[in-house]
Structure 1
Amino acid sequence: MSEMINNREQLHKDKSERHEILKEIIKALHHGASVEEVKAQFEEAVGNTSVAEISQLEHSLMEEEGIPVEEVQRLCSVHTAIFKGAIEEIHRPDHPEYQPGHPVHTFKLENKEIDLLVDFKIKLHLERFEREDNDKHVFKLIEDLNLLLDIDKHYSRKENLLFPYLEKYGIYGPTQVMWAIDDCIRESIKDAKQKLMNYQGGRQAVVAVINYVIREVKEMIFKEENILFPMALETLAEDEWIKIAYESDEIGYCLTAPVGKWQPERKALPVGELSEGFVRFETGLLSLKQLELMLNHLPVDITFIDKDDVVRYFSHGKERIFARTKAVIGRTVQNCHPPKSVHVVEQLLEDFKSGNKDSEDFWIKLHDKYVYIRYFAVRDENGKYMGTIEFTQNIRPIQKIEGEKRILS
């Protein structure tokens, strides 16, 4: 009888106390407690918890407790093992995730194709490769991995369209952790493909990295469908889902495509023209339309962030080198980059703000392009830092120029 009373009291703990218990469980994991031990403690002490609380937990561990993103990432798979079967079902009117064309519906369609690829096709070909690592089985795996590389579009839409809206609501934990894991998956797929392209033996190394890819991809599908998507559906407004659906085409889709165009019952707000007006410069006068067209016709991609590191503008030419979506507007530039490269961004901005530097250049090879990336500190007439402007240009055609040209083609 006393056990029943204790259990009932335990289940009625208020949310803040349950949150503290969850933090203690994660700390115990950090200090080496076994997964099974902690899982039992979780189920006994807390019972079911919502996906929103899981998000708050991860965020507070990083922000309040000072646990690095890498540590939370390392524990993320353990979280999954704990929370499987303990996440309450989120009920929403009309279930938008079941409506064709809704971003979550499309994400889930892709996940079915991804799961079929890794859990059936790749597993089958990997088993054959393990038995006999001949050219035929090597080529089959290379074909599979080429298909799986398409997962970048799935992850890019999640990172560049969905994450910015979650961060608007103060939800950072899943976005930082998932982006880091997405990057590991991307790199591991490329690593596996490279090993197979140059295969001279070393079967177990190939098997190990592909098994890692299969495991992490399947774990990410679970985390998306049981944590990320329910939390996003619970948080985002319908207008925000409309914008995500509208901008998804620009990034593209993985292994499949939306099965229809999502139209909410109410009429979506139209995307209007630029309001009439003019901008007067020291050296001229342009209409807003002329100004936008001029910037979009420059042979460079331009992005501007203000003095508070918030993205305020990007040009939108016909062929951008790096994808940008309107969802980045109003987002801090640090949250537009993968966690592993944020320190580079912060150092660059610190140098600009302190006056140590006025510019910085980078150049990288990207497919058939040679990309020249230039950053300039923007200062007012008194030298006060007002923001940073980024220019990105494919200079491969410029490198080919020789001699002179003085007449029209």
Structure 2
Amino acid sequence: MSEFINNVSRRKETLKEALRQIHAGKPYEEVKQTFAEILQQASAGEIAEIEQALIAEGLPVEDIQYLCDVHVAMFRESLDQQTPPQMMPGHPVYTFNAENELAALQLNQCRQLLGQAQDNPKAETLAQLAAALQKLAEFDCHYERKENLLFPFLEKYGFSGPSSVMWGIHDDIRKAWKSMRKQLQDAGADPSAALAAVSEKFIPMENAMREMFYKEEHILFPNALERLNASDWRAIHAQEPDFGFAFVVRGAQWPPDEQPVEIETAIGDAIINKEKQERMNEMNEFPLTTGDLTLSQINLMLTHLPVDITFVDENDIVRYFSETPTRIFKRTPAIIGRKVQNCHPPASVHKVVEIVEDFRAGKRDSAEFWIQMNGMFIHIQYFAMRDVSGNYRGTLEVSQEISALRKLEGEKRLLDD
């Protein structure tokens, strides 16, 4: 098989065949032995591209997610030989890796406290374990930054495989966090049974998190550094505070300072251009169905509505979201230009696809949901947008927190205090 090692295209096809055999049920050790020589040559980029190619060929994302750890195990010898890139404090990759190191320590503490609680299942030890698991769940902002910042930028370069597979694993970990905390909260008079349930969830959750640390360091981040340019990383860096950081304070050494003259020039140009654009927005009026408005007025109206708005065009591309003062669901500029299918977890994306396809086919004009989240009662509506000829032009999502509205009774006149 050595004739394939220096032929990248043929090597990828051979590696794909190895994964296909795994998915078909062939014993892992047998496949690894057959393809041992070529497996040692696989790079992080090839592994990610192969999984993405298998998805494109129709292999369900759920199947790849289920066997993701097997894939990594097959290539681990090759990946261990590759030196992870070193970044400066403040670079998004450096921050991601620092969070992983501290999350590993938090996992160690949770495992230790779980053992102590099993040996001494009293209220105090259960409370300590619950607090440690609550602390661990703060790591969710790490996953949110991946899903809402890093993944969209990778998708712009046609690299969407990690978005589908990793997001599903994130959601499995989130479910385990929630379930374990609920078990401890409801322990009541039978703490031993609660601890047994927690232990059953903890082991696969811990394995999933630690495997994700490895996949990020050896596959995701090297691929991201290879594809994204300095401007992309700066854009990610600028939007990271919207989601926060887990266990760390972001470093300040990156991005490196520019020359003072260049900064001054850039800032000056930006101010001039912004002022010019604002003047143009104020001057130019656009004729609407029932009036004329400037761009500034339109923008002010959209940002002052008591609802969150997101617009997806007829090609399923996210084109706009309103930046209201208190958004319910986080949005960042990184999602503009992203396929709406990539903006939702794998477990629920099929519902979004069904709604959009029904809108496109004219089977329905709206869809309505309501959920309870973090003490809020959220009303979500989707509307099909059609032009005067009835052609589908996109989908409008409107979300509103309506807890206060649901409590209204009687009436209040306009001039009442």
Q: TM-score, normalised by structure 1?
A: 0.92
Distance of aligned partners of 1:377 and 1:10 in 2 relative to their CA distance in 1, 3 Å threshold = closer
C-alpha distance after superposition, 1:145-195 (max 9, x if no partner): 111111211101000100011111111211110000000000011111111
Structure-2 change in CA distance of 1:198 and 1:323 (3 Å)? same
Instruction: Find out whether 1:23 has 2:16 as its counterpart.
Output: yes
The separation in 2 between residues aligned to 1:112 and 1:296, in whole angstroms, is: 39
Moved more, 120-129 or 257-266: 257-266
Contact 2:88 2:253 in 1 (8 A): no
Instruction: Find the aligned partners of 1:122 and 1:240 in 2 and give their Cα distance.
Output: 36
Q: How does 1:260-409 map to 2 (within 5 A)?
A: 260=252, 262-264=254-256, 266=258, 273=274, 274=277, 276-277=280-281, 278-280=284-286, 281-406=288-413, 407-409=415-417
Structure 2 counterpart SS, 1:331: coil
SS in structure 2 opposite 1:44? helix
Provide the residue aligned with 1:253 in structure 2.
245
Q: Is the 8 A contact 1:103 1:245 kept in 2?
A: yes
Q: 1:57, 1:310 → 2: CA distance?
A: 26
Identify the range of structure 1 (28-37 vs 360-369) with the bigger mean alpha-carbon deviation. Answer: 28-37
- Report Cα offsets for 1:222-252 as digits up to 9, x if no partner: 1111110111001001111111111111111
Residue 152 of structure 2 aligns with which residue?
Answer: 164
Instruction: State the distance in 2 between where 1:349 and 1:10 align.
Output: 44
Q: Distance in 1 between matches of 2:294 and 2:63?
A: 51
Structure 1 pair 149/46, CA: closer, same or farther in 2 (3 Å)?
closer
> Which residue is equivalent to 2:208?
216
Match of residue 96, structure 2, among 101, 107, 112: 107
Mapped to 2, the partners of 1:102 and 1:219 lie a distance apart of 22
Q: CA 1:331 to 1:402, structure 2 compared with 1: closer, same or farther past 3 Å? A: same
Q: 1:323 deviation in Å? A: 0.4
Shift of 1:265: 5.3
SS in 1 for 2:77: coil
| Identity percentage of aligned residues | 41
After TM superposition, give the deviation of residue 48 of structure 1 in Å: 2.0
Question: Counterparts of 1:150 and 1:28 in 2: how far apart (Å)?
Answer: 38
CA distance 1:141–1:42, shift in 2 (3 Å): farther
Q: Which amino acid aligns with 1:145?
A: L
Question: In the alignment, which residue of structure 2 is the partner of 1:177?
Answer: 165
Deviations 1:298-345 (A, max 9, x none): 110001010111100000011100000111100111110011111101
Q: Which moved more, 1:258-267 or 1:397-406?
A: 258-267
Q: In the alignment, does 2:232 pair up with 1:240?
A: yes
CA distance in 2, matches of 1:44, 1:263: 41
In structure 2, what is the Cα distance between the partners aligned to 1:246 and 1:351? 37
* Superposed displacement of residue 133, structure 1: 2.3
Q: How many residues align?
A: 396
Q: Is the 8 A contact 2:4 2:10 kept in 1?
A: no
Counterpart of 2:5? 11
Which stretch shows the higher mean deviation, 334-343 or 39-48?
A: 39-48
Q: Which moved more, 1:394-403 or 1:370-379?
A: 394-403
- What's the TM-score once normalised by structure 2's chain length? 0.90
Q: How much is the aligned-residue C-alpha RMSD, in angstroms? A: 2.0
> Which sits farther off after the overlay, 367-376 or 276-285?
276-285
8 Å contact 1:10–1:46 — kept in the other structure? no
Q: Which residue of 2 aligns with 1:3?
A: none
Instruction: Measure how far apart 1:86 and its partner are.
Output: 0.6
Alpha-carbon distance between aligned partners in 2 of 1:40 and 1:141, rounded to the nearest angstrom = 43
Going from structure 1 to structure 2, the CA distance change for 1:225 and 1:45 (only over 3 Å counts) comes to closer
**What per-residue deviation string (whole Å, max 9, x for no partner) do you get for residues 251-281 of structure 1?**
1111223122632455687676355233412
The residue type paired with residue 362 of structure 1 is F
Gaps of 5+ in 2: none
Mapped partners of 1:11, 1:54: distance in 2: 14
Distance 2:120 2:28 in 1: 36
Q: Is the 8 A contact 1:311 1:331 kept in 2?
A: yes
- Give 1:347 shift: 0.9
**Mapped partners of 1:80, 1:133: distance in 2:** 37
The 1:398–1:67 alpha-carbon spacing in structure 2 relative to 1, beyond 3 Å, is same
Residue in structure 1 matched with residue 185 of structure 2 by the alignment: 197
